[in-house]
A and B are shown apart, each in its own frame.
Chain A
C-alpha cells in the first residue's frame, strides 16, 4: 500500500498541469539561488579560469596548467590533505558520538538543559581559540592550577597542548565548540519525535538498549547525518583554528592555501588558486560520496517507503 501511494504522488508531482506551482516555487527560490549562483558558482568558475591562466591575475593571460603542476608537486600537499581530513573526521566523529549521548541524557531535563547547550553557540571561534590558548599553553591557567596543587614541579612537566604536533589544541577547541551545537540540533530532533514508537517497543518487551538501537537511533539518523555533515564541512575548511592552535608542520590544507595566497610573490597566486580549487574539489567529492552513501537513511523516517 505504502509503495503504491508513494508512486502515485510521484506521478502527480511530475504532471505538467502542475506547472503554475512549479513556476511559483522557482520564482520564490530565484533570489536565493541567484545570489548563491552568482557568488559561489561564479566565483568558482572564475577561480577555475584563473588557475589555468585564461584570466591573468597580474593582467596578462597565458593559458597553462603550470599552476596545477606547482600545486600537485607542493612538498606538503599529501600530508596537509591527510591532516585536514584526519582532524575533521576525528573531531566530527567524536563530537557526534558524544552529542548523541548528551542529547539522550538531556532529553527529559527540560528547558534549562537546552539553554546550557547554547553557552558556546554565540562564542566566536577566535574567542574560543584565545580562551584555549590562555588555558592550555605551557604557562597557561591549567598549568598554574596543577602547580598550585603540587601535581607538577615546573612548566616543563605540562604536556604540550597548543601548537603541538598532535594538534590536541585544535581537537579540543572543535569538541568544545561543536558538541553543544550538535547536541542542540539533536535535542530539537528528539523533542520533535513521536515518543509513541519507543513506548510501544518498551511495552513489547524491548530492553532500553534494544529500544535505543532499533527505534530511537534510526529515528535520529537523518538529524545525526545532517549535523555531522555541516560540522565536517566546517572543520575541513576551517582556517583560523588550525592556523593559531595547530601544528606548524604539517599544516592543514586551508592554512597552506592561505600561505600561498598571502605570499609576497604575486606569481604564486595561480598556485594558491589551484590549491584552493583542490580543497573545494575534495569537499565536493566528500559531499557527493556522503549523499550517495546516506541517500536512504537521510529520508525522514515517517516518509520512507519501507517504513
Chain B
C-alpha cells in the first residue's frame, strides 16, 4: 500500500511542519546574526541564562502557567466525567440542546462574555487573581473534555459495570476498578486537550488577570512586540516543552480512535 512517492509526500509534509522551528532553535543560541548570514557568527547561551535568572520573571510565568493549567485540567475532568457519561450513555429530552449549549464557548467568540465576567470578578475581588483566571479557563476546557469523554463513554460496554455490580462491587469499587481503567484513554486525551488549551491561553488570562497574573503566553506576547529575537526564541522553545512531555505520555492514548473521534462529533 505504501509506496515510495507516498513516503516522499509524508516526509515533505513533516519537514514543512518542522520548518518554523529551525529559526527558533538557531535564534535561541545566536549571539549576532545579521542579514544575510545563513548561520550566526557567534553563539551564546545568554538567552537561555536569562530565562532562568530571577530578574526576568520568566521562571515565575512558567510556574504560574503550570499551576493554572494543572488545576484547570483537574477541575474540568471532575466536571467533564459526569457530563460525558450523561451525553455518552443516556437518552433524555433536550440532549442536543444541552450538548450544543456546552459546546458554545469553543465555537462562539468569548470576547464579549469576558467583559461581563470581568465586571463580576472585580466585585468579587477575583479579578487579577489566579483563581479568577482558572475559572475563565474552564470555559474552553470543559467543552473539549466533555466531547472526548462522551465519545469514549458511548463506546463503553456498560455490561462490564453491571457484571461488577452483580458480583458485589460497591459503586466506588466499580468506578475505580472497572470504569476508570476502561475509559482511561479518553481521560488522557481530554486532559491533554484541557492542559494544552489552558497552557496556550492568552486573551482570557490577559483580560481577567489584568496584567497581574503572569503566565508564559503573557511573557511571549509582550516579547513578540519588542525586538529581542534571541529571547523570543528561547521563551518560545521553553513554552513547547511541557506540552511535548504530556504528548509523549499521551501518545498511546491518542491511538484510540474513540477518544479523538469524539472531536468530530459536534
Contacts and interface: CB of A to CB of B under 8 A. Distances in A.
B24 A29 contact: no
Interface string B97-113: 01011101111111111
Interface string A12-26: 011000100110111
Contacts of B79: 31-32, 35
A300 B16 CA distance: 34
Nearest to B217: A126
A52 interface: no
Given A130-B224, A230-B107, A188 B261 contact: yes
B184 interface: no
Interface in A147-162: 147-148, 155
A239 B265 contact: no
B83 A122 contact: no
B14 A119 contact: yes
Contacts of B57: none
A132 interface: yes
Contacts of A44: 112-113, 116
Contact of A254 (B111, B143, B196): B111
B101 A37 contact: yes
B2 A109 contact: yes
A13 B93 contact: yes
B254 A118 contact: yes
Contacts of B20: 128, 131-132, 134-135, 176
A73 B156 CA distance: 54
A246 B1 CA distance: 42
Contact of B36 (A111, A148, A188): A148
B115 to A, nearest CB: 5
Interface stretch (B44-52, B163-171, B173-181, B236-244): B236-244
B247 interface: yes
Majority secondary structure, B binding face: helix
B263 A40 contact: no
B187 interface: no
Interface string A167-204: 00000000010001000111111011000000000000
Interface in B219-266: 220-221, 224-225, 229, 232-233, 236-237, 239-240, 243-244, 246-247, 251, 254-255, 257-261, 263-266
Which of A39, A114, A222, A269 has the most chain B CB atoms closer than 10 A to its own CB?
A39
Contact of B92 (A21, A45, A239): A21
B121 to A, nearest CB: 10
Nearest to B243: A122
B265 A226 contact: yes
Contact of A102 (B2, B13, B139): B13
A216 B160 CA distance: 33
A49 B202 CA distance: 26
Interface residues of A, number: 109
A132 to B, nearest CB: 5
Given A40-B105, A105-B10, A189-B264, A126 B111 contact: no
A237 B107 CA distance: 8
Interface string B21-58: 11110110000000111100000000000000000000
A36 B214 CA distance: 25
B229 A134 contact: yes
A121 B27 CA distance: 23
Contact of B18 (A36, A119, A277): A119
A120 interface: yes
A87 interface: no
Interface string A195-232: 00000000000000000000000000011111101100
B19 interface: yes
Which of B100, B196, B232 has the most chain A CB atoms closer than 10 A to its own CB?
B232
A240 interface: yes
B264 A35 contact: no
Given A134-B23, A240-B221, A279 B91 contact: no
Nearest to A115: B251
Interface string B185-226: 000000000001001101100010000000001001100110
A237 B109 contact: yes
Nearest to A269: B115
A135 B19 contact: yes
Given A39-B139, A188-B257, A280-B111, A227 B264 contact: yes
Given A31-B83, A43-B120, A300-B265, 9 more contacts: A18-B92, A28-B86, A42-B120, A109-B2, A122-B244, A124-B217, A187-B260, A258-B203, A276-B115
11 contacts: A25-B92, A26-B86, A26-B92, A32-B142, A39-B139, A46-B117, A47-B112, A124-B239, A125-B200, A224-B264, A229-B266
Interface of A: 13-14, 18, 21-22, 24-29, 31-33, 35-37, 39-40, 42-50, 55, 57, 102, 105-106, 108-109, 111, 113-116, 118-135, 139-141, 143-145, 147-148, 155, 176, 180, 184-189, 191-192, 222-227, 229-230, 233-234, 236-237, 239-240, 244, 254, 257-258, 261, 269, 272-273, 276-277, 279-280, 283-284, 287, 291, 298, 300
